[in-house]
Amino acid sequence: MDERPYHREIRAEQLSIALNNLPTTLISSVIISTSGTIVLGTESGYAWIPWWLVAVIGTSILRGLWLLGVRRSPAAARDTERCLGQLRLHAFLAGLTWAAVPVLQIGHIETMSGALTAFLMAGISAGALIQSMTLADHGIVFFTPILLATAATFLAQGNLACGVVGANTLLLLTMMIFQAQRGSARFCQGEEARLSSLALAKSVNESNRKLDYLANHDSLTGLHNRAAFNAELAARQARGAGLALAVIDLDNFKLVNDTRGHLIGDKVLIEAATRISRACQPSEFIARLGGDEFAIIIDSAPCEQRAEALSKRVVAVMGRPFVIDGVTLVIGASIGLALFPQDAAELTELFAAADIALYAAKDKGKHQASRFDADLRTKLERSQRIEAEIGDALTHGLLNVVFQGQHNLTTGAVIGHETLIRWAHPELGAISPAEILSAVRSADMGDQLTEFVAKEACRLLRALTKAGDTTSTVAINISPAEFLTGNPVGIILEIIDRFAIRPERFEVEVTEETIHDLTGVNAELNRLMSVGVKIAIDDFGAGHSSLVKLASLPFDKLKIDRCLISGIDGQEKNAQLIATLIGLGKQLNFTVLAEGVETAAEAETLRRLGCAQVQGFHFSRPVPAQSIVAQAREEGARTKELRQVS
């Protein structure tokens, strides 16, 4: 049969209570037996009474010595059942010693001595009952011999009065056994409830501790997470002391993650977290903000000097090669550093300042730390204002879309147009597309921008069709992040349908990083291609190019970035690479377009390499839609006139 819940714990508690009560029990036994000896000796004069007292005291002494032995040997006390068994045996022997009093009086009980004996035996038994309310069997084995002997003595007397006393003694024994068992059962139930409550409280506390840990720590590296970082930053700022914030970004992590896999990437992050932690002092708060971005809060004075020294240490330790599963990897880190309250009055501003400094470090060539300064402050204030006003700019039509032509390199004819965003701010001046896109991402307005640009593209296509141009395409740019966070495909398809545009005239350009994010984007690209929308890979060669993945990505056109085109007439390696891409395009059935063509020499080299399409200032600059439509009308009119002449 299975043990009751918490059986061992309850038995251990019963033993502890019994051991604690035993000194009182032994002292009471000696006192009561001494008193009984005096009274019984005076009234009856039995010769055996002194010897009985010696036996009781001797038994008590032996039990006391046993208790001292258990107290001095914790190992003995841990054997709960053995100790309880010894206690039960001692109680039984003590009960037999007390039972000797009525047994030795069988047939000779006088009225007074009988009353004294009955009183003495009932009293010592009642005391045992009180002591045994937590452990019934020990009390029962003590008082049962005593009361049985007392009942037998009175019943053996043979008269009615003694018979009644004997019967009542048996009744008393029955009631005491019942009460002892009931009391012990209640104790066990109470202990079960107490232990269950403690276990529940412990479980809840443990669960809360785990939840608190998970809520505030990164599961991969064990560092604090972004939520804990924000809370700590706020708490330290509230104390009013100066602090420094270092934001760390691993330089080549994305390349490692893409080429070596996420398992290796995770091991790199764990090793990076370890190196950063070892470079820091215990007072410095370290967090992983997400991806390969970490942050450190430094608040001990002088925080500026300590932060700069720490940044140098982190750059140094992260610059050492990582050896992961036998593979040597060069990672490195860039750090942006900002101080409170020197560089920012609010937390969001402090983090933004450190982030701006981080990008400055990367722009300088990575593997270094950059301190936020006045020039960066100007850039930060500009970006904050752009972000604050981008919503109104979209709503009130303050953004403009211009179009740069894409040309057939052989004939020079316009075959398509790329949409480019412009914003002429009355105070900030010309705002670059990169600044606009950054503000849109920060404001989570990607879908609104996609809708705005797609409408402008479809308006141009509709106007071109009316002007007689029924073949040229118009392209818009969509970043992989927009596919993952918004609904650009749904928006594009709805607008194409609303403007009644042939889908094959609409082109979507995605940046090269899409190649490294096929899981989240591939299905959406296929959805566009399934209805006829063209897909182009933009800026190929500007990032970590992957020729291997090109075959698995759905697209129609590959746009080679300006970085490979610039000076191609004097760059033989670049020329060979582009020739390879052109050949690959013919095999995989995609078109290669060279963008950023700015000189006749570059155009001639591309023509010699067999490049079919080009885009760049040498052929046309970005112009408003009206200019493109006007030119299309002129071309249409000229074509019509030539047909009439012929």
For residue range 326-378, list pLDDT tens digits in order.
Answer: 888 889 999 999 998 888 888 778 888 898 899 889 878 889 999 988 787 78
pLDDT of residue 420: 95
List all residues 6 or more positions away from 359 whose beta carbon is below 8 Å from its beta carbon: 336
- pLDDT tens, position by position, 101-127: 888 887 777 665 677 777 788 888 777
pLDDT of residue 43: 63
Question: In Å, what is the CA distance from 12 to each residue of 9, 23, 199, 259?
Answer: 5, 18, 17, 61
Residues of the chain with pLDDT under 70: 1-4, 42-45, 74-78, 110-113, 207-208, 210-211, 213, 300-301, 512-520, 542-552, 642-646
- Give DSSP secondary structure letters for 372-398: --HHHHHHHHHHHHHHHHHHHHHHTT-
pLDDT of residue 588: 82
pLDDT of residue 520: 60
Residue type at 380 in one-letter notation: L
Q: Give the single-character DSSP code of 217.
A: B
pLDDT of residue 615: 95
pLDDT of residue 262: 84
pLDDT of residue 1: 40
Element (H, E) at 509: strand 506-511
pLDDT of residue 221: 92
The Cα 299–Cα 306 span in angstroms is 9
E strands, 17-164, in order: none
- Residue of 426, 340, 444, 438 whose CA lies nearest to 384: 438
pLDDT of residue 173: 86
pLDDT of residue 119: 78
pLDDT of residue 513: 61
240: left (phi over 0), alpha (psi -120 to 50) or beta: left
| Residue 418 near residue 404 (C-beta atoms within 8 A) | yes
